[in-house]
Amino acid sequence: MQGGYSGIGYGLKYQSRCISDVKADTDHTSFITGTLSLREENEVHLIRLSSGGTELICEGLFSHSNEIWDLASCPFDQRIFSTVFSNGESYGAAIWQIPELYGQLNSPQLERIASLDEHVGKISCVLWWPSGRHDKLISIDDENLFLWTLDCSKKAAQVQSKQSSSMLHYLSGGAWDPHDINAVATTCESSVQFWDLRTMKKTNAIERAHIRNANYDMKNNHILVTAEDESGIHIWDIRKPKIPVKELPGHTHWTWVVTCNPEYDGLILSAGTDSTVNLWMAPASAEDEATSERLIAESPTQQADPLLNSYGDYEDSVYGLAWSSREPWIFASLSYDGRVVVESVKPFLSRK
Amino acid sequence: MVEREKTRTDDVPLDDKAKRMRDLLSSFYNPDHSSAPKPPSDYENLDAINSTSFDPDHYMNVLVQKSNLEGLLRRHVEMAAEIKNLDTDLQMLVYENYNKFISATDAIKWMKSNIVGMQADMEQLLDKIMSVQSRSDGVNTSLFEKREHIEKLHRTRNLLRKVQFIYDLPARLSKCIKSEAYADAVKFYIGAMPIFKAYGDSSFQDCKGASEEAIVTVVKNLQAKLFSDSESIQARAEAAVLLKQLDFPVHSLQAKLLEKLEQSLGDLQLKTVRIENILRESNDPSKQGKPFESIPSTGHEVSVHGFAEAIRAYRVIFPDSESQLIKLAQNLVIKHFEMIKQCVKRRISSANFLGALRTIWTDVLLMDEVLSEASLADFSLEAGQVTVKKYVASTFTYLLQDISDALLKVKVSPKEEAEEHALKLALEASKKAVLQGSMDLLLDFRQLLDDDLGLLVKLREFIVDWVQKGFQDFFRALDDRFLLLSGRKNPSSQDQGLSEGAPGEKVLVGIVLVLAQLSEIAASFSGDGARGYENEHAFASGEIRQIFRSAAEKLLHHYINMRTQRVSTLLRKRFTTPNWVKHKEPREVHMFVDLFVQELRAVQSEVKQILPVGLMRKHHRSDSNGSTNSSRSNALLDDRMTQKGRSQLLETHLAKLFKQKVEIFTKVESTQESVETTIVKLCLKSLQEFVRLKTFNRSGFQQIQLDVQFLRTILREIIEVEDAIDFLLDEVIVAASERCFDPVPLEPPILDKLVQVKLARSKEQSK
């Protein structure tokens, strides 16, 4: 509970699972989120943190016919984002463009740029390359990995290549390496698999059960953070897939999502179904390890607790989590009951 | 004044002569100024009449001015009288000087006349001495020849005597051999050596041969003497000295003797090895072992005595051989200690260890007497330090081994059997291993400390330190071992089916408690240590206890984790396989509930064996701050179902619910209830999360409703149902209804009936 009240809240109308930082918006700190309601009309909210940083303002409210299971903002165009949606029986994925607003808030229609409708099974996510402008998109469903070529001006997306995972492994999600435009990690029930997009071949794998989420470290190459149902958070050097570099205890119940800070080294956020968001400091680079080892050698009893803070002011499981790339000390979290909370981690950074 | 100066300078030539005269006189007679007549007080300037700066004119002026006529006249008379007196004095002095001069001249004249006669006497004396010299030379030359002759004769006689001696030598030597007067023999032979060297090849050949033969026998005899142990050390030492004098290669002898010593040393070791063996054999069956000294020491001590004697003798015989002896002795000590080390490797009771140490120490003391330069005591102290340290370390290792053995044994054996008490046994065994083991260990070490053996007394401080440090390390190692045991078991139990992996978990639970016990031991030991040895510095009991507490907690969590993980796999399978959107009408409670309950019962049986019953049962209820009760949430649920504007209501209800937010995840305590409920809560939460990921049709929702209803009933039979559990069960249904297109619940009668059917069936099965 401590520090929980510093957050700025914003309520969505329905339950929701996903929130994304609008990276391309360089003038404001804004997030985009969508609701998950099976029986109602769903909404996409574009939220902006007021210049004073004390208030969350709704910049845009758009209706979205189906419930949204995944949402990602385009890293180079603030008006474009992708969603994965479902009508309860079947799944779909699409790229949307927010119409020009001109200050009016009367629920204008979203413009669908492209539908990624090659999928059959349950779509888990759509990935943009996180580090900049790239005309490719990745979408992952239960069994397949698609690489799309997106042409915004022509409003078309074409499958460039496709690779099926073996039937035994249902893919549950993925992450695109920010350091390597051709490397993608996908999670499935029993492992994390790494793909080379040029050949669409598997290059490597981390054998580990029940990985729920994976996230590349934006600052350090080769570092991947994974969240697992029961056994917490692991930090991997993907060149050494046997043993994790570091282990964090995670959450009391499942750890649902982890995300590395885009700016501060080793700063990791995790959210879980125990209705908390945890802030960790766990540097994984070699130097840091050496120093930490030295520290341990010097004072074995005073090993610093990697958990910097636990935000507990949530009423339900937290599934959505996003760092702001514009103000990297700010993050937004979204609990299942539709509450967006934006917090600053500044008080913990100074302590570092 | 100026005028007066002028007049004075003018008067200088006149006065010069008189002044010099006066100076001379005054210097010669050194007139006493004080005795000079004191002038009347009126003429104060007149005092200076004898001084060098006397100014007669000024004097006159002053006199004239100051005195009256009468005074002047009187002064004149006085002066005239003074002058006359001075004159006569002068004259007298001159005469006296002259007299002295004359007498001196007379004496010189007399001396001159006397010296003239002496020259002739001297020349006469010289002549006489010359004549004496020539005569003595004459005598000398006349006697020379005779004297030379005598000398020659004398030399010849000496030579003859020597020749005689050499001719006699063989006989004399044999006589000496007979009477065993080897010292004389050697002396004679060495005396004759130069001659033999010079003429041995020619004139005295026979003689030389004979005497050499004799000497060879002498040497032989001497060697025999040297090597015979029966001879007195003195005699042997003498023999060695004599042999050395005979230029005999003593070094080889020394080496030989040393070899002999080494050999005896080897024998000694062989003997001791045998002793150790005997000791071990005699020790094993009777476990406790008789006092060590009684069996072996007799033979052993004798041989060591012998060795010590030999060393003493050797030292006397070869006084310069210490370094070799030291090496030898140190070797002996090292070998002794090595032997002990070997024993220590095998496992040895402290009594035996003590006995072995004692033997070595007595040996060392014995040898130290003989060979104090070797500082064997220090040396063996060092070696002993290492050994004792090793002993302490190995004892701890064995204890650790024992404990993990106790754990592993149980893990392996009761796989198939009815394992009601297996777990309990495991706990007891390991508990005993830890408690008894460390108590025994302590007793052993106490024995070590209480012994008054010199070696141990000196090492006492160290031992205390080592033991304390050993205990710390031991506890850390134990902690590591437990974590390892649990960690290793972790992946395998995940991969294996549900029937496997149980033993590993049992061990875990055992470990948790064992650790708790251990922390107590650690605490009490640290107290004891502080009291017993009065130095509490090294033992950080608090830290150790902390380590164990956290380890216990960690392991408990680990256990819960593994249990819930298995339920999770169960649930995952349940929810990923069917197509929930096309679910058929529920006919009966799904099988996964049975499996879940089965898991739960397994947990319960494990927990019951190991963990204590929580005393705070009632307290728990008030602890979890949810005042939600099932009736309320049921009512709420019903409300929710029937309402049209569901979503808005949902919001408000959610808000209401969260006003009384139920703390689902409270801190786990190591009691039966706490662990059970925690596992149930975690599983139900997982169930809720799985439901949230799916979409249901009406039948699917009803199936969930039915399953949960049954679960609710049966859970009440198994465990103490907290409010949080009730709340979670409700939450599962809420989640399902939210994820349902058409959430129409089953009619309560149908629901009840289905549940009753299932209950009846499960009761039947259990019968």
- Helices (H) then strands (E): counts for chain A: 2, 28
B704 falls within a domain = yes
Q: Which of A38, A206, A242, A274 to mutate to test the interface with B (most CBs of B within 10 A)?
A: A38
| Residue B419: per-residue pLDDT | 46
Provide the residue count of chain B. 767
| Residue B423: per-residue pLDDT | 61
Chain A window 72-131: which residues touch B at a Cβ cutoff of 8 Å? 86, 88-89
Task: Name, in order, each residue with C-beta under 8 angstroms of B487's C-beta and a sequence gap of 6 or more.
Answer: none
Count of structural domains within chain B: 2
Q: Residue B654: list chain A partners with CB under 8 A.
A: 315, 337
Range A230-239 contact pairs with CB under 8 angstroms and sequence separation of 24 or more = A230/A254, A230/B561, A230/B564, A230/B565, A230/B568, A231/B561, A233/A258, A233/A268, A233/A270, A233/A280, A234/A208, A235/A268, A235/A282, A235/A284, A236/A192, A236/A206, A237/A284, A238/A185, A238/A194, A238/A204, A238/A206
- Which of B202, B225, B245 terminates a domain? The answer is B245
- Could you please report the per-residue DSSP string of B15-79? HHHHHHHHHHHHHHH---TTTSPPPPTT-GGGGGGGSTT--HHHHHHHHHHHS-HHHHHHHHHHH
B211 falls within a domain = yes
Query: What is the separation of C-alpha B61 from the centre of its chain, rounded to a whole number of angstroms?
Result: 110
- Which of B230, B245, B260 terminates a domain? The answer is B245
The answer to whether the CB atoms of A88 and B741 lie below 8 A apart is yes
Residue B609 CA neighbour count, 13 Å, CB half: 23
B396 falls within a domain = no
B320 falls within a domain = no
Please state, as a whole number, how many other Cβ atoms lie within 10 Å of the Cβ of residue A144.
18
The answer to whether the CB atoms of B741 and A39 lie below 8 A apart is yes
Residue with tokens 């160290």: B462
- Which among A314, A292, A342 is positioned nearest to A19, based on CA atoms? A342
| Residue B123: per-residue pLDDT | 86
Local structure of B386: helix, strand or coil: helix
Residue A184 CA neighbour count, 13 Å, CB half: 28
**pLDDT tens for the 352 residues of chain A, in order:** 344 456 888 888 888 999 999 988 888 899 999 998 888 888 899 999 888 888 888 888 888 888 999 999 998 888 899 999 998 788 899 999 888 765 565 667 888 888 888 888 888 899 998 888 888 899 998 888 889 988 878 888 888 888 887 666 788 888 999 888 889 999 888 888 898 888 888 888 888 777 888 898 888 888 899 988 776 888 888 888 888 888 888 888 888 999 998 888 888 999 988 888 999 988 765 444 444 444 443 333 345 678 888 888 888 889 999 999 888 899 999 999 888 999 888 888 865 4
Task: Name, in order, each residue with C-beta under 8 angstroms of B476's C-beta and a sequence gap of 6 or more.
Answer: B544, B547
A293 touches chain B (CB under 8 A): no
Confidence (pTM): 0.62
Query: Nearest-CA distance from B740 to chain A in Å?
Result: 7
Q: Residue B646: list chain A partners with CB under 8 A.
A: 39
B251 falls within a domain = no
B241 falls within a domain = yes
Which of B647, B685, B686 is facing A14, going by the closest CB pair?
B647
Q: Which of A36, A87, A89 to mutate to test the interface with B (most CBs of B within 10 A)?
A: A89
The answer to whether the CB atoms of A315 and B658 lie below 8 A apart is yes
Check: CB of residue B392 under 8 Å from CB of residue B466: yes
A40 touches chain B (CB under 8 A): yes
Check: CB of residue A49 under 8 Å from CB of residue A28: yes
B693 touches chain A (CB under 8 A): no
How far lies B166's CA from each of B175, B191, B213, in Å? 14, 10, 14
Q: Residue A317: list chain B partners with CB under 8 A.
A: 689, 692
Please state, as a whole number, how many other Cβ atoms lie within 10 Å of the Cβ of residue A214.
22
The answer to whether the CB atoms of A230 and B581 lie below 8 A apart is no
The answer to whether the CB atoms of A252 and B665 lie below 8 A apart is yes
Q: Find, in chain A, the residue whose alpha carbon is nearest to that of B645.
A: A40
Residue B322 CA neighbour count, 13 Å, CB half: 10
- Which among B344, B348, B349, B357 is positioned nearest to B452, based on CA atoms? B357
Main-chain phi, psi angles of B537, to 5 degrees = -65, -45
One-letter amino acid for residue A75 of the chain = P
Distance CA B274, CA B667 (A): 62
- Which among B325, B306, B314 is positioned nearest to B233, based on CA atoms? B314
Distance CA B303, CA B297 (A): 10
What's the ipTM? 0.88
Query: E strands, B313-444, where?
Result: none
Chain B window 443-502: which residues touch A at a Cβ cutoff of 8 Å? 494
Q: What six digits make up the tokens of B703? A: 């199936």
The answer to whether the CB atoms of B581 and A88 lie below 8 A apart is yes
Distance CA B131, CA B144 (A): 21
Q: Find, in chain A, the residue whose alpha carbon is nearest to that of B490.
A: A231
B689 touches chain A (CB under 8 A): yes
Query: Nearest-CA distance from A89 to chain B in Å?
Result: 7
| Residue B494: per-residue pLDDT | 32
- Orientation of helix B297-317 relative to helix B350-370, angle to 10°: 20
Exposed, middle or buried: residue B106 (CB in 10 Å: 0-12, 13-18, 19+)? exposed
> Per DSSP, what are the bridge partners of residue A193?
A186, A205
B523 falls within a domain = no
Distance CA B499, CA B698 (A): 35
Distance CA A85, CA A17 (A): 12
The answer to whether the CB atoms of A230 and B561 lie below 8 A apart is yes
A27 touches chain B (CB under 8 A): no
Q: What six digits make up the tokens of A68? A: 């949204």
Local structure of B705: helix, strand or coil: helix
Q: Residue A88: list chain B partners with CB under 8 A.
A: 581, 695, 741
- Which among B316, B278, B327, B313 is positioned nearest to B298, based on CA atoms? B278
Distance CA B291, CA A350 (A): 68
| Residue A249: per-residue pLDDT | 85
Task: Name, in order, each residue with C-beta under 8 angstroms of A182's C-beta and a sequence gap of 6 or more.
Answer: A196, A197, A198
Q: Residue B647: list chain A partners with CB under 8 A.
A: 13-14, 37, 39-40
Distance CA B571, CA B565 (A): 10
Distance CA A265, CA B28 (A): 117
What does the angle CA A89 – CA A91 – CA A92 come to, to the nearest 5 degrees?
A: 145
pLDDT < 70 regions, chain B: 1-17, 25-50, 200-203, 228-234, 247-251, 253-254, 257, 260-307, 309-322, 343-350, 370-376, 406-435, 438, 451-456, 479, 481-549, 610, 614-664, 766-767
Q: B90-137: per-residue pLDDT in tens?
A: 999 999 999 999 999 998 888 888 777 777 888 888 999 999 999 888
For residue B86, give the H/E element and its range. helix B69-116
Q: What is the per-residue burial (b if ≥16 Cβ within 10 Å, else e) of B693-714? A: ebbbbbbbbbbbbbbbbbbbeb
- Which among B46, B55, B48 is positioned nearest to B15, based on CA atoms? B55
Q: Residue B665: list chain A partners with CB under 8 A.
A: 252-253, 274
Residue with tokens 């402008």: A133
Distance CA B146, CA B144 (A): 5
The answer to whether the CB atoms of B647 and A229 lie below 8 A apart is no
Handedness of CA A23, A25, A30, A31 (dihedral sign): negative
Q: Residue B689: list chain A partners with CB under 8 A.
A: 253-254, 273, 317
Check: CB of residue A85 under 8 Å from CB of residue A115: no
Instruction: Report the DSSP pairing between strands A42-49 and A30-35.
Output: antiparallel
Work out how many CB contacts closer than 8 A connect A with B: 55
Q: Which domain holds residue B595?
A: 564-612+655-765
User: In order of start, what are the domains of chain A with their CATH numbers?
Assistant: 8-164 (2.130.10.10), 179-274+276-311 (2.130.10.10)
B4 falls within a domain = no
- Which of B219, B245, B271 terminates a domain? The answer is B245
Task: Name, in order, each residue with C-beta under 8 angstroms of A136's C-beta and a sequence gap of 6 or more.
Answer: A129, A147, A148, A149, A150, A160, A197
Distance CA A348, CA B567 (A): 37
DSSP state of A251: -
Exposed, middle or buried: residue B458 (CB in 10 Å: 0-12, 13-18, 19+)? middle
Distance CA B508, CA B556 (A): 8
B7 touches chain A (CB under 8 A): no
Check: CB of residue B363 under 8 Å from CB of residue B304: yes
